[in-house]
C-alpha cells in the first residue's frame, strides 16, 4: 500500500511538472506573439496619431478655397532612395491669381513656415532644422501677393514611423548641433536600434499649406486661424 501511494505521488509530481513546462512554453510563445503584435500596433498607432493631428488642423478649412493657388511637391534628386536614408522633398507654392493670401510663418528665424504640414504614409517625417534650436519671438504672419512664389525643402526619412524619433532629433541637435537628417543610416541605427528601415516599395507623401484668403478690402480673419488649404501628393519608391 505504501509503495502504491509513493508511485501515485511520483506520478502526480511528474504530471504537474509536465503541465508547468507546457504552460511555460505556451506563455513564452504567447509573449513573443503579443510582443510582435504590440510592435505592429504601436507603429500603426504612431501613424494614425500623425494623421489625426493633421486632420484636426484641417477641420473646418476649405480645400482649394483659392483655386489660383498652385502647390507642387517633388523629389528632384535622381539617385535612388535607399531604405533608412533621408531625402528632400521640394515644395513650390505659386499665387497665379489676383488676390492676396496670408499664412502663419511663425518665428522669424524659421525657414519652413508653420503653415506647411507634411505627412508621409509609413515613412518618418523630420522636424525642420531651424525649428530645433532657439527661436526668435517675432511671430509673423506673411502675405503671398499675386504673382508671388514660395519654395521650401522638407526632409523625410525612409524608415518606419517611430514614436521616439522626434525625441532623438532634439537630443542629437541639443548635444552638438547635429541634424538627424544628415546622419548616415548605419550610424543612426547603431545608436538607436529601435529604428527600422522602410521596406522596398512605393510610399505616398502629402503636403498641406494652410492659408487665409484676404478679401477685397484687405481684411482677413487671421486671428481666427486659416480658412483654406492647398494639398499636393507624390509617390516615391524605396529600394534596397
Residues 121 and 230 in one domain: yes
What pLDDT is stored for residue 219 in this prediction?
54
Q: What is the pLDDT confidence band of residue 50, given thresholds at 50, 70 and 90?
A: low
Q: Which of 16, 34, 59 is the last residue of a domain?
A: 59
C-alpha cell read off for 195: 529604428
Domains contained in the chain, number: 2
Q: What is the pLDDT confidence band of residue 200, given thresholds at 50, 70 and 90?
A: very high
Nearest Cα to 51, choosing from 119, 115, 128, 114?
A: 119
Average of pLDDT values for 118-138? 89
Residues 55 and 167 in one domain: no
pLDDT at residue 109 greater than cutoff 80: yes
CATH number of the domain within which 233 lies: 2.60.40.10
Q: What is the pLDDT confidence band of residue 64, given thresholds at 50, 70 and 90?
A: very high
C-alpha cell read off for 16: 504537474
Residues 52 and 165 in one domain: no
Residues 141 and 171 in one domain: yes
Cα distances from 236 to residues 73, 117, 118, 142, 230, in angstroms, run 11, 18, 14, 31, 20
pLDDT at residue 163 greater than cutoff 60: yes
Residues 179 and 79 in one domain: yes
What is the extent of the structural domain holding 77?
61-239
Residues 122 and 21 in one domain: no
Residues 138 and 39 in one domain: no
Residues 207 and 192 in one domain: yes
Strand-pair partners of 236: 203
Q: What is the pLDDT confidence band of residue 220, given thresholds at 50, 70 and 90?
A: low
Residues 117 and 38 in one domain: no
What pLDDT is stored for residue 224 in this prediction?
63
Range scoring the smallest mean pLDDT among 30-44, 86-100, 141-155, 226-240: 30-44
C-alpha cell read off for 240: 534596397
Q: What is the pLDDT confidence band of residue 45, given thresholds at 50, 70 and 90?
A: very low
Task: Determine contact, residues 73/207, Cβ cutoff 8 Å.
Answer: yes
Q: Which of 59, 78, 97 is the last residue of a domain?
A: 59
Residues 30 and 73 in one domain: no
Q: Which of 59, 91, 108 is the last residue of a domain?
A: 59
Sheet with 86-95, edge to edge strand ranges: 69-74, 86-95, 149-157, 124-125
Residues 128 and 229 in one domain: yes
What pLDDT is stored for residue 93 in this prediction?
98
Residues 193 and 110 in one domain: yes
The average confidence (pLDDT) of the chain is 82
Amino acid at each position: 500500500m505504501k509503495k502504491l501511494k509513493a508511485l501515485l505521488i511520483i506520478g502526480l509530481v511528474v504530471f504537474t511538472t509536465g503541465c508547468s513546462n507546457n504552460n511555460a512554453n505556451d506563455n513564452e510563445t504567447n509573449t513573443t506573439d503579443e510582443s510582435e503584435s504590440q510592435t505592429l500596433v504601436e507603429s500603426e498607432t504612431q501613424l494614425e496619431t500623425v494623421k489625426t493631428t493633421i486632420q484636426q488642423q484641417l477641420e473646418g478649412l476649405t480645400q482649394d478655397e483659392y483655386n489660383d493657388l498652385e502647390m507642387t511637391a517633388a523629389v528632384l534628386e535622381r539617385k535612388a532612395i535607399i531604405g533608412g536614408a533621408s531625402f528632400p522633398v521640394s515644395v513650390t507654392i505659386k499665387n497665379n491669381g489676383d488676390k492676396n493670401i496670408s499664412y502663419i510663418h511663425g518665428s522669424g528665424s524659421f525657414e519652413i513656415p508653420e503653415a506647411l504640414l507634411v505627412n508621409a504614409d509609413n515613412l518618418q517625417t523630420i522636424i525642420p532644422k531651424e525649428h530645433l534650436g532657439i527661436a526668435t519671438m517675432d511671430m509673423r504672419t506673411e502675405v503671398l501677393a499675386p504673382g508671388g512664389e514660395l519654395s521650401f525643402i522638407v526632409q523625410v526619412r525612409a524608415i518606419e514611423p517611430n514614436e521616439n524619433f522626434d525625441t532623438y532629433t532634439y537630443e542629437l541637435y541639443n548635444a552638438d548641433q547635429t541634424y538627424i537628417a544628415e546622419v548616415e543610416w548605419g550610424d543612426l541605427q547603431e545608436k538607436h536600434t529601435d529604428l527600422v528601415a522602410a521596406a522596398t516599395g512605393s510610399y505616398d507623401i502629402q503636403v498641406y499649406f494652410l492659408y487665409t484668403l484676404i478679401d477685397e478690402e484687405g481684411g482677413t480673419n487671421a486671428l481666427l486661424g486659416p480658412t483654406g488649404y492647398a494639398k499636393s501628393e507624390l509617390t516615391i519608391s524605396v529600394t534596397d
